[in-house]
C-alpha cells in the first residue's frame, strides 16, 4: 500500500473513543473497549510513519489570517506551507464553510499523511444567534436551558466549519472586578458544576462525531478566577484544600460529562504556572480523573513561562509545557520552533511527544474528522441554520429566564402596556452592539433587538414612547441631562437603561470600581428626582454596586447582556407577559471595598457582631452584601412551611430526605427556585457557613402549593478531613431551605459514623 492508503485504511476504524456518560453503562462497556482498541491501533499506525516534524505539527495551533477588513479569514501563505508539510495541526479564528473547506483541502490533498485540520473558535454564548452571556444564563438556574442553548450554538457553528469551541469557561469567580466573571457561572461550586456539565453536553451532543456537534474545551485549568486583585492574568495563591473543594469540581464535572479538551490557565498556583504544572495536568487530570483528551495552552501561554521566571528561553518553556502535559501550543510557536531539536537532542523523550500527538489524534478521531473531514463545511447548512426563527424564539426565552428582579417597591412592575406615555432613557436604551456582550462570536449588532425597539413592540399602538440618551456610557458630558429630564417629566413612567459597555467585560477587562461608569450615577439621580415611577434596567457583565441608585428608583431589573433578543425579553418582563424567575449566581456587594464577598465564606474566631468592636467587621458599613447569592424576586410571592428531615440520623453510606411545602401566596402564576443549603456544625477542619447542595425549579398558580423533597446522599457531605482523607465526619448538620441563601428555614440531622474514601 502507498502511505496515504495506509492512513485511509486505518482511519476507517476511527470511531468515538472518549469517555461519555452513556459509555459507562454496562451494556456499552465491551463495545467501548473494542472501539478503543481499534482507534489506538489506527493511531499507532500513524505514529509509526510520522516524522518528528509531522508529530510536532499536530501540536501546533495558529490563528487564521485576516489580510484586510473586507475579506474573511483564511490561511496565510506561511500557514499553507506548514499545512502542506504536515506541520500545522489546527487553526482557530477561521470560519465559514468555504474558507474552512479550502484550508482543509490543502491538508487532505497536499500534505503527505493527509491528516485533517481541526478548526476552533470562541463560541461562548452562541455563534450567530447570540444568547445571554454565561453569567446571565447561570441566573436562570436552569441547566436544561443552558444545555439547549449550547446545542444551538454547536448547530450553527458546525454549519460554518467549526469543529471545536474554547468553552465552557468554568472558573469559579468570587471577585467581580475580574472581567471574565461574565464568561462563567458565578461564585458557587455546585451551580457552576451543573452548568459546566450542561454546556459540555450541549456542545458535544449525544455523538461528538456528528456534523452538528463541536468539541468542548473546559477552561481555564485551573483557578484562573482566583486572580489576586481581580486583575486578569494575575497570580493565584491558595491552599490545595480550597483548590479541590471550590475551584476544581466544575472542571471535574466537565470531564465527567465527556469534555474532549481542556485549556490551561495563564496564572500560577502556589509558584507553579499552570502551563508548566505536571501535578495539575498529568497527576490530577489524567491520573486521578482519567481524562484522555488533549490539553491546549491559552494564547502564547507557553512562551509566557519566561515572563513567569520559570523558563530561561523558548526551548526550556516548550520542554516544561510538553512534559507537564500541555499537548497543543496555541499561537506561541514554541513547539514548532523548538520541539524537533529538543527531541533529537534527547532533552524531550520521544515517548512524551508521541503521547501528546496520540491525544490530539484521539480527539480528531472522536469528532469524526478522519471519517469525513468536510462534514462541517456545508454551504447549504450555512445558509439555512443561522439565526432561524426557532433559534431566535429560544434566545428570547433564555433572556426572560436570565433576568433577575432586584427591587419592586409597591409592585410598580409589571407596567401596563396601555400607558399613555413611557420614557425610555439611558445610554443603553437604544444600544444594539453592547447587548451582545463580550465574546459574541459572529453575532452582529444588526441582529439585536434593542430595549427601545422591544418596548415599542410591546406597548399598545396609542402609547407614546419617548426616548432620550441622557449621556454616554463613559465620559463626563452632562449636556443631554436636561433633555432626558424633560422627557421623563412628560411621561407616565420611565425605563432607565444603564450599565457597562461590552468591552468592560471579558478578557483583559478588569475594573477597580464596581460603580456605574461615567456620569450615569448622576443621570439616575436626575431622573429619580423627577418623582416619576422609574424602573432601572441594568446591562452589565459583572455585579455592580448600586447602593445609592437603589434609593432613587422604584424597581430594578438585572438583565446582564442578553444577546440578540434582549429588547424583546426585557419588554416581556417589564409588561408582565413573563414573570421574572432568575436568581443571582453571584453576590452583589454594597461597595467594592467588601470584595471578595461570597455567601459560602467561613466563620472566624470572632464572627461579626454589630454590638462588639473586636469582631470581624467593618466600622463604616455592614458585612452583609447589597443582595445575597440566590436572591431574586417575582411578580408573585411564595411561602415556605414545614421544613423537616427524615430520618434525623444518617448512617454510613445512607441518605436523608429534606421536605418543605411551598405555596404561591400571591395573585399571579410564577416560578420559584427552591434552594437547599447544608452546614457541617463541627468538624476536624473549618467549614463554610453553608453550601448549596440542591435546588428545584417550581411553577405554581396562585394559591397552589406543592411539597418539595430533596435527597441528601452520603457523598454530598464528603470533605477532606484534617488527616487528608475524603470522609464524612460524624456530628450534626444543619439544612437550610429557602428562596435565597439568606432567607431560609432550618432543620438538623446527625451523622453517626465516618466512612473514609
Name the residues annotated as catalytic.
298
Distance CA 4, CA 115 (A): 9
Helix axes 314-324, 350-366, angle to 10 degrees: 60
Please state, in angstroms and rounded to a whole number, the distance separating the CA atoms of residues 94 and 73: 5
User: In 3D, which of 262, 134, 107, 284 has the Cα closest to residue 198?
Assistant: 134
* CB neighbourhood size of 628 (10 A): 17
The residues with which 699 forms a beta bridge, in sequence order, are 671
Helix, coil or strand: residue 694 = strand
* One-character DSSP codes across 715-757: GGG-EE-TTS-EE--SEEEEEEEESSSSSEEEEEEEE------
C-alpha–C-alpha distance, residues 678 and 747, integer Å: 10
- Residue 735's φ and ψ, nearest 5 degrees, are -105, 140
Q: Give bridge partners of residue 465 from the DSSP assignment.
A: 422
Label residues 595-604 b or e (16+ Cβ within 10 Å = b).
bebbbbeeee
SS3 at position 147: helix
Residue 126: which region, alpha, beta or left (left: phi > 0; alpha: psi -120 to 50)?
left
**Strand pairing partners for 264?**
221
End-to-end CA, the chain: 53
How many other CB atoms are found less than 10 A from the CB of residue 752?
Answer: 11
**Contact yes or no for 629/598 (Cβ under 8 A):** yes
Round to whole Å and give the CA distance between 689 and 671. 27
DSSP readout, 418-479? T-SEEEEESTTSS-SSGGG-S--TT--GGG---HHHHHHHHS-TT-EEEEE--S-SSS---T
482: CB partners within 8 A, 6+ apart: none
Q: Is 379 exposed, middle or buried (0-12, 13-18, 19+ CB in 10 A)?
A: middle
What is the 8-class DSSP label of residue 124? S
CB atoms within 10 A of CB 466: 16
CA distance 658 to 666: 25
Q: What gap in Å lies between CA 579 and CA 573, rounded to an integer?
A: 6
Interatomic CA distance for residues 414 and 164, integer angstroms: 42
Give the DSSP per-residue string, 151-190: HHHHHHHHTTT--EE---B------TTSGGGGGS--S-HH
HSE (side-chain half, CA atoms, 13 Å) at 430: 12
Rounded distance between C-alpha atoms, residue 690 and residue 438, angstroms: 32
Q: What is the DSSP string of 569-603?
A: HHHHHHTTSS------SS-B-SSGGG-S--TT-B-
Neighbouring residues of 406: CB distance < 8 A, sequence distance ≥ 6? 556, 557, 558, 588, 627, 631, 632, 633
Are residues 424 and 465 in contact, defined by beta-carbon separation less than 8 angstroms?
yes
Amino acid at each position: 500500500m502507498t502511505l496515504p492508503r495506509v492512513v485511509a485504511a486505518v482511519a476507517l476504524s476511527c470511531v468515538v473513543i472518549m469517555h461519555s456518560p452513556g459509555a459507562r453503562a454496562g451494556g456499552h462497556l465491551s463495545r467501548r473497549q473494542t472501539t478503543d482498541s481499534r482507534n489506538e491501533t489506527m493511531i499507532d499506525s500513524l505514529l509509526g510513519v510520522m516524522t518528528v516534524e509531522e508529530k510536532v505539527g499536530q501540536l501546533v495551533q495558529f490563528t487564521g489570517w485576516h489580510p484586510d477588513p473586507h475579506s474573511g479569514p483564511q490561511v496565510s501563505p506561511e500557514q499553507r506551507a506548514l499545512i502542506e508539510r504536515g506541520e500545522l495541526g489546527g487553526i482557530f479564528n477561521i470560519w465559514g464553510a468555504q474558507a474552512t473547506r479550502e484550508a482543509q483541502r490543502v491538508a487532505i490533498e497536499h500534505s503527505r499523511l493527509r491528516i485533517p485540520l481541526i478548526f476552533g473558535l470562541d463560541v461562548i454564548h452562541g455563534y450567530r444567534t447570540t444568547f445571554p452571556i454565561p453569567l446571565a444564563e447561570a441566573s436562570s438556574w436552569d441547566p436544561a436551558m443552558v444545555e439547549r442553548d449550547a446545542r444551538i450554538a454547536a448547530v450553527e457553528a458546525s454549519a460554518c466549519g467549526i469543529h471545536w469551541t474554547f468553552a465552557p469557561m468554568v472558573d469559579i469567580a468570587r471577585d467581580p472586578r475580574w472581567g471574565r466573571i461574565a464568561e462563567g457561572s458565578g461564585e458557587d461550586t455546585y451551580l457552576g458544576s451543573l452548568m459546566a456539565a450542561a454546556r459540555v453536553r450541549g456542545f458535544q451532543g449525544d455523538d461528538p462525531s456528528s456534523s452538528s456537534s463541536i468539541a468542548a474545551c473546559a477552561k481555564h485549568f485551573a483557578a484562573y478566577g482566583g486572580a489576586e486583585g481581580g486583575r486578569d492574568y494575575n497570580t493565584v495563591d491558595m491552599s490545595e484544600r480550597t483548590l479541590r473543594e471550590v475551584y476544581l469540581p466544575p472542571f471535574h464535572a466537565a470531564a465527567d460529562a465527556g469534555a474532549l479538551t481542556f485549556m490551561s490557565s495563564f496564572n500560577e498556583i502556589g509558584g507553579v504556572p499552570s502551563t508548566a504544572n505536571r501535578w495539575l495536568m498529568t497527576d490530577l487530570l489524567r491520573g486521578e480523573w482519567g481524562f484522555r483528551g488533549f490539553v491546549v495552552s491559552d494564547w502564547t501561554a507557553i512562551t509566557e513561562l519566561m515572563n513567569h521566571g520559570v523558563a530561561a528561553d523558548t526551548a526550556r518553556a516548550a520542554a516544561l509545557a510538553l512534559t507537564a502535559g500541555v499537548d497543543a501550543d496555541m499561537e506561541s510557536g514554541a513547539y514548532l520552533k523548538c520541539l524537533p531539536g529538543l527531541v533529537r537532542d534527547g532533552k524531550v523523550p520521544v515517548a512524551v511527544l508521541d503521547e501528546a500527538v496520540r491525544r490530539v489524534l484521539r480527539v480528531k478521531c472522536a469528532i469524526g474528522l478522519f471519517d469525513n473531514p468536510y462534514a462541517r463545511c456545508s454551504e447549504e447548512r450555512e445558509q439555512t441554520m443561522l439565526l432561524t426563527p426557532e433559534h431566535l424564539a429560544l434566545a428570547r426565552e433564555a433572556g426572560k429566564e436570565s433576568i433577575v428582579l432586584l427591587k419592586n417597591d409597591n409592585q410598580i412592575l409589571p407596567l401596563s402596556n396601555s400607558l399613555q406615555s413611557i420614557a425610555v432613557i439611558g445610554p443603553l436604551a437604544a444600544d444594539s452592539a453592547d447587548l451582545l456582550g463580550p465574546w459574541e462570536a459572529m453575532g452582529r449588532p444588526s441582529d439585536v433587538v434593542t430595549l427601545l425597539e422591544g418596548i415599542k413592540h410591546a406597548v399598545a399602538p396609542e402609547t407614546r414612547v419617548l426616548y432620550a440618551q441622557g449621556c454616554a456610557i463613559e465620559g463626563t458630558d452632562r449636556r443631554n441631562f436636561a433633555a432626558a429630564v424633560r422627557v421623563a417629566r412628560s411621561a407616565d413612567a420611565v425605563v432607565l437603561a444603564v450599565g457597562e459597555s461590552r468591552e468592560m467585560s471579558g478578557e483583559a477587562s478588569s475594573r477597580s470600581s464596581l460603580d456605574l461608569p461615567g456620569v450615569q450615577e448622576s443621570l439616575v439621580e436626575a431622573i429619580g428626582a423627577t418623582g416619576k415611577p422609574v424602573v432601572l434596567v441594568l446591562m452589565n457583565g459583572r455585579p455592580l454596586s448600586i447602593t445609592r441608585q437603589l434609593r432613587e428608583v422604584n424597581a430594578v431589573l438585572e438583565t446582564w447582556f442578553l444577546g440578540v433578543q434582549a429588547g424583546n425579553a426585557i419588554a416581556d418582563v417589564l409588561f408582565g407577559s413573563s414573570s421574572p424567575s432568575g436568581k443571582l449566581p453571584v453576590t452583589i456587594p454594597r461597595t467594592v471595598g467588601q470584595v471578595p464577598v461570597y455567601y459560602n465564606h467561613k466563620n472566624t474566631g470572632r464572627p461579626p457582631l454589630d454590638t462588639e468592636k473586636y469582631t470581624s467587621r467593618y466600622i463604616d458599613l455592614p458585612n452583609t452584601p447589597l443582595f445575597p447569592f440566590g436572591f431574586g424576586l417575582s411578580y408573585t410571592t411564595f411561602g415556605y412551611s414545614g421544613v423537616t428531615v427524615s430520618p434525623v440520623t444518617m448512617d454510613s453510606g445512607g441518605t436523608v430526605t429534606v421536605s418543605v411545602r411551598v405555596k404561591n401566596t400571591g395573585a399571579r402564576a410564577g416560578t420559584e427556585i427552591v434552594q437547599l443549603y447544608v452546614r457541617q456544625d463541627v468538624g476536624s477542619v473549618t467549614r463554610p457557613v453553608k453550601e448549596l447542595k440542591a435546588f428545584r425549579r417550581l411553577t405554581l398558580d396562585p394559591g397552589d402549593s406543592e411539597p418539595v423533597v430533596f435527597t441528601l446522599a452520603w457523598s454530598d457531605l464528603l470533605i477532606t478531613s484534617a488527616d487528608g482523607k475524603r470522609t464524612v465526619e460524624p456530628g450534626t448538620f444543619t439544612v437550610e431551605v429557602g428562596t435565597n441563601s439568606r432567607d431560609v428555614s432550618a432543620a438538623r440531622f446527625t451523622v453517626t459514623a465516618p466512612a473514609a474514601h
